Amino acid sequence: MPQKWLNNSELVTGLVLERRLKAELLDEQTFYPPYCDVISDIKAGKSIEELQIRHSFALIQASISASEHVNGLGDKTDWPLLLQKLSSQYIVGEMLTKKGKKMMEGNSDVDISAIRDSLTRLHDNEKIGLVQLKDIKPRKIKLIETGWESIDKFFGGITKTGVLEVCGSPSVGKSTLAAKLCGKFAKKYPNKKVVFFTLEMIDEELAQRYVEVFGCEDEIPTNIFIDARRHNVREIVSIVSGIEDIGLVIIDYAEKMIEGETTEPKMAEVFKETAFCAKQLKIPLVLLAGFSRTYQGGLPRPYHVRYTGMAEAEVWSCWALYNPCNDHFQEDKIANKTLPAIEGKAYILGWKQRGGFPVIHGIGGPRAIQVDFDGLTGWGDSGTMYALKGYS
């Protein structure tokens, strides 16, 4: 354990307790436990007495004593940057240790690219976050296949790094689509962990949903992990950051990560934090979201997502789910701007994908995939593609 990170966390906590540093300038996630919880409670307005009860008198007094060794507020030290550097070094070092042990044991399934990314991060941190552009290997953000026939064929798969937003009305099939994507991805990449944060359903309910989608005879992959606890967005980011060999994260759904009243600034934070998490860990993150009351039927657009325009700016790709058979509003139908309403069929609309969609049959822009749909078993494997040109 690197004592430097621990000692600096204690010292900086003391500076905050003495009001020589503002807690708002610091990210509690960069502190060594349990100092991260102390900083979080300070930000929440807890008094010294409350902190001593929650975290022990000795811990609080030791922090204050440690800070007394810093003269002049440590005027030449950038504490937020230092803690970020130290915490990142520790996390990367821990990852390299685990993967190194696997390699020494002759495990051939070690993800070499993850080791390379870890070393790059460590190298960057030694330069305090700065790296020369000439040292960065250029590459496009790739799409990766999911194992779901229609998604891979018509969308090219999903992003290898970034947030995929899946939005839709209540009961349109968001959770069944997430369960299907989860199972397909886990089977295609058995050495990668798929983590499903089910903030809406209980874990047994999600297990039942999975069985309904894939059938009772289908063996559930061992690399699917469920977390049904209540988390805010920062807690989820912290959990995900500590998982090794992660391949896909699914969060059902965005609003459930909000504590207290749901507001536009809080929802904006959800999209910003999840996008940053996906970028830093270089993973695909699927975030389910609902529509606002401004959506009154017809083809759903990205701007119909509830509470925030930040979703359009932060996500790497945006899908909207649509079942015209359940659409009782006629505006788009009168304007001849809807997709065919066929019983037993529904649509996955791909409105946005950075870098564009693959060109298929001369269609290169937004598109819809029509697949079989059943309210219980969810979405079918294969389907037909429609162009959405003119609808956006």
What does the angle CA 279 – CA 176 – CA 226 come to, to the nearest 5 degrees?
60
Domain positions in the chain are 1-138, 143-387
Q: State residue 6's pLDDT score.
A: 86
Q: State residue 112's pLDDT score.
A: 64
| Distance of alpha carbon 247 from alpha carbon 125, whole angstroms | 24
Question: Who contacts 170 (Cβ-Cβ below 8 Å, separation ≥6)?
Answer: 290
- For 372, the enclosing helix (H) or strand (E) is strand 367-374
Beta-strand pair 246-252/193-198 = parallel
Kindly state the tokens that stand for 22: 């503002």
Q: State residue 1's pLDDT score.
A: 45
Which CATH code fits 143-387? 3.40.50.300
CB 193 within 8 A of CB 180: no
- Kindly report, residue by residue over 232-252, the tens digit of the pLDDT: 888 888 788 778 889 999 998
Handedness of CA 102, 108, 113, 114 (dihedral sign): negative
Q: State residue 322's pLDDT score.
A: 94
- For 114, the enclosing helix (H) or strand (E) is helix 112-126
| Distance of alpha carbon 158 from alpha carbon 307, whole angstroms | 25
pTM of the model: 0.69
Q: What is the pLDDT along the chain (392 residues), one digit of tens a residue?
A: 456 888 888 999 988 998 888 888 788 888 888 898 999 899 888 888 889 888 988 888 888 888 887 765 445 677 877 887 787 777 777 777 877 787 788 776 766 666 666 666 556 555 555 556 666 666 566 899 999 999 999 999 999 999 999 999 888 999 999 999 999 999 999 999 999 998 888 888 888 888 888 888 888 999 999 998 888 888 888 788 778 889 999 998 888 888 878 888 888 888 888 988 888 788 999 999 988 877 888 889 888 888 777 777 789 999 999 998 888 765 665 555 678 889 999 999 999 898 889 888 888 889 999 999 998 889 999 999 999 886 65
